[in-house]
Amino acid sequence: MPSLLIYGSYGFVGSLIAEKAIDRGLDPVLAGRDREQLREQVDEVGQPGRRFSLEDPDIVAEALEDVDCVLNCAGPFSNTADPLVEGCLESGTEYVDITGEIPVIESIRDRDDEAVDAGVTLLPAAALSTVPMDCLAAHLADRLPEATDLALGVDSFRVPSVGTVRTVIEGADDGGAIRRDGDLEDVPTAWRTREIDFGRGERPAVTMPMGDVSTAHYTTGIPNVEMYAVMPQPARTALKFHRVLAPVLSAPPVQWTLKLLAGVREGPSERARERGSAYIWGEASTDDGERVVSRLRTPDPYVVTTDAAVTVAERVLAGDAGDGFQTPAGAFGPEFVFELEGVEGFFDESTPDGTSPVSPLLQ
């Protein structure tokens, strides 16, 4: 049986993904750098474990020699993706991760030629929001092939995991990003606010530097991409203050303290994950005003991330993805999202001008 190694398997999200992989019979190797946490997880679930750090490229490559695919769950991915990708290219191992970090996705894409030469798949961002949004973007591009602008968004405000909080803290000074004329463009945090009907009435959403700014562009070829997320008023205000506080938050002593404080909380409970949901919205438009809108409804983001990561790894192990840099919908098509349990859609607005008097999710 092809082998899967899950790096960062004992983190909150990593442990959920490891459990899902075991349930599906993938017999994963659990891995990470923390000896005690890894030993505890190995003893608990009865899977093999492999401890190695990422500082030495030779050690990483050696650890991956007998592995068919690495699923990287260890954020911040700005610290872990590059050494694992390097190890995968040297050992001929496929690479999948769950990042939402734009610079990480871009750096992995930069290694496309190397991956093609090595016969290796590099598929980052196998998570929510990227898998549903990437598939929605591909669907919108099919509906409107002449589209020049793409806006995508998610409505699902919930408590983040420790790893997510630490990733946000790590990138505190990065601000926002959009795609304009095919190139990444830096913009201030919460640069634009827009009223969007995600499927349960209009709600205010702000631009966010989500990984789909990269993946949706590469999947569809649409040159202008913006990403939005619903935020309550206090959060929107905090994001705008972040523009002033970013230099302070990015200082190493402050980041160390914030990360320490972040470590005292876990992610949402199983009951909360079972009851959660997300509403995904997308709009494609042309320069002359033609516009189409589509939506998806998904289970809780952590449920989708867990399902998506394991399903992508299964498809990659089966040889269904091409060599080189890939996006989820680019590799598997827009319908791939419906391989995930509980996803509903596509809900397409049908009126000629792209508007609808009643949201399709509420009809």
Say what the pLDDT of residue 274 is: 82
User: Residue 241 pLDDT more than 70?
Assistant: no
- Cβ-contact 136, 337 below 8 angstroms: yes
Assess if CATH 3.50.50.60 describes domain 4-127+303-333.
no
User: Residue 276 pLDDT more than 80?
Assistant: yes
The pLDDT mean for the chain works out to 86
Q: Model-level pTM greater than 0.75?
A: yes
Residue 234 pLDDT level (bands cut at 50, 70, 90): low
Per residue in 181-190, pLDDT (tens digit) is 999 999 987 8
CATH class in words for 130-301+339-362: alpha beta
Say what the pLDDT of residue 139 is: 98
Q: Which range among 8-17, 136-145, 251-260 shows the weakest confidence by mean pLDDT?
A: 251-260
Question: Greater confidence, 7 or 168?
Answer: 7
- For residue 70, which of 43, 52, 97 has the smallest C-alpha distance? 97
Tell me the C-alpha distance between 262 and 362, whole Å.
37
What average pLDDT does range 163-183 have in this prediction? Answer: 65
Residues of the chain with CATH 3.30.360.10: 130-301+339-362
Residue 205, judged by CB atoms within 10 A of its CB (0-12, 13-18, 19+), counts as buried
What average pLDDT does range 136-150 have in this prediction? Answer: 98
Say what the pLDDT of residue 2 is: 66
> What is each CA distance from 54 to 5, 63, 314, in whole angstroms?
14, 10, 25
What average pLDDT does range 133-162 have in this prediction? Answer: 87
Residues of the chain with CATH 3.40.50.720: 4-127+303-333
Say what the pLDDT of residue 363 is: 41
How large a percentage of the chain has pLDDT more than 90? 73
